[in-house]
Amino acid sequence: RGFLLFFFCLRLPTLTRIFMASVEVYCNICDRLITGRRNRCTTCADFDLCGPCALLGYHKDTGHEFEASGPEESLTLAELSAHEQSLQEEQNALFGNVDESTCTTTSEKPSMRQPLFLCLTCIDIQQHTAAVCLGCSLVCHADHEIVELYTKRNFVCDCGTGPFLPAHPCTLNPDRERATTNKYNQNFQNRFCTCHRAYDASGSDGDMAQCVLCEDWYHTELHDENHDDIIGTEAEDHDFVCGGCIERCPFLLDYHGTPAAPIATTPLTGCTRPAAPVVPIPPPRTAAPAPAQDDESTPAPAPA
C-alpha cells in the first residue's frame, strides 16, 4: 500500500497534465478554444493563452511566467498575421473610436454607442445608477473593482458627476454636468438575464448573449435550444432578440425564414438558474449632495 501511494505521488503531475488536456480551455485574449499549445499564466488565476496569442506577445508586459502544455504548433507568418488582424477587427467592432486615455465626453459626439463599466468601489449600485467610459475606467478608476457592461447605445459617460461627487471627480474632464438623456436597466445594478443574477467574471456561469434591442444580457441556453425560432438562414450569423422584446415588437416574427433579418428569438420562459431578488432601479442623481453645515455656521435659536 505504501508503494502504491509513493507511485501515485510520482505520477500525480503527469496525471494532472492529462486531465487538464482533456478539459476544454479557451484563450483569454481571442476567446477561442485552445486546440494546440496551451500557455497557462502561473501568476494570474485561470488565465490561458493559445499558441498564436502567446507568440504575438500578449500578456508579456506583465512579466509573468507561463507553463506550456499540449502539442507544439507550427505557425506561418501569414497565419499569425491573420490571427492578429482578426483580433484587431474584433477590437474595432467593440471599442470603435474610443480612446483609452481620454473621456468620451471630450469628443464631438459625447452621446455614443460605447463600452461602459460599473465602478463598485465608488458608488453603491443598489442606491445609484451610473457608468463610466473606457478611458475613465482605466485612468480615474484604475485600482477599483470594475464590472464590464459591454456596449450601450446613446450613452454619455457619468464619471465625475452625480453619485461620484464629491469624493471621486473625473480627472480627464472635470467640471461638467451629468447628462439627462442616459437610460439605465438592471445591468447598471450588476444584474443580468431573467434570473437577475450578478455577473460572474470567472465564466463558470455559462455564456451570455446581448439583446440588440433592450441591450440586456441573457444566458445562452435560453436560445441555444430554440434554433427553430431563428429568423434567417445561418444560426451562427444572427443578432439576438430576447423574448420580452419579441412580445413588445411581435412584427419581427413576420421576418421568420427570410435572409433579410438574421435575428434569433427566444420565448420568454425565464432562466433555469435560481432567481435573485429584484431591486427597483433608483433614479439617476444629477447633482452632488449639498455639503453639511458645521456647528459654527448653524444659526443660533432665537431667544424666547
* Residue pLDDT, tens place only, 127-170: 899 999 999 999 999 999 999 898 899 999 999 999 999 899 99
* Residue 298, pLDDT above cutoff 90: no
For β-strands 263-265 and 239-241, DSSP reports them as: parallel
Task: For residue range 266-296, list pLDDT tens digits in order.
Answer: 444 456 677 777 667 777 766 555 555 555 5
Helix/strand/coil (H/E/C) assignment for every residue in the chain? CHHHHHHHHHHHHHHHHHHHHCCCCECCCCCCECCCCEEEECCCCCCEECHHHHHCCCCHHHCCCEEEECCCCCCCHHHHHHHHHHHHHHHHHHHCCCCCCCCHHHCCCCCEEEEEEEECCCCCCCCCCCCECHHHHHHCCCCCCEEEEEEEEEECCCCCCHHHCCCCCCCCCCCCCCCCCCCCCHHHHCCECCCCECCCCCCCCCCEEEECCCCCEEECHHHHCCHHHEECCCCCCCEEECHHHHHHCHHHHHHCCCCCCCEEECCCCCCCCCCCCCCCCCCCCCCCCCCCCCCCCCCCCCCC
Q: What is the largest CA-CA distance in the chain?
A: 96
Buried b (16+ CB within 10 A) or exposed e, 253-281: eeeeeeeeebbbbbeeeebeeeeeeeeeb
Judged against a pLDDT cut of 60, whether residue 6 lies above it is answered with: no
Calculate what percentage of the chain has a pLDDT beyond 90: 28
From the CB of residue 48, how many other CB atoms can be counted at a distance below 10 Å? 22
Q: What value does the mean pLDDT of the chain take?
A: 77
Q: What is the pLDDT of residues 199-220, one digit of tens each?
A: 876 666 677 788 888 999 888 7
**Adjacent-strand bridge partners of 211:** 240
Looking at the DSSP bridge assignments, the partners of residue 119 are 146
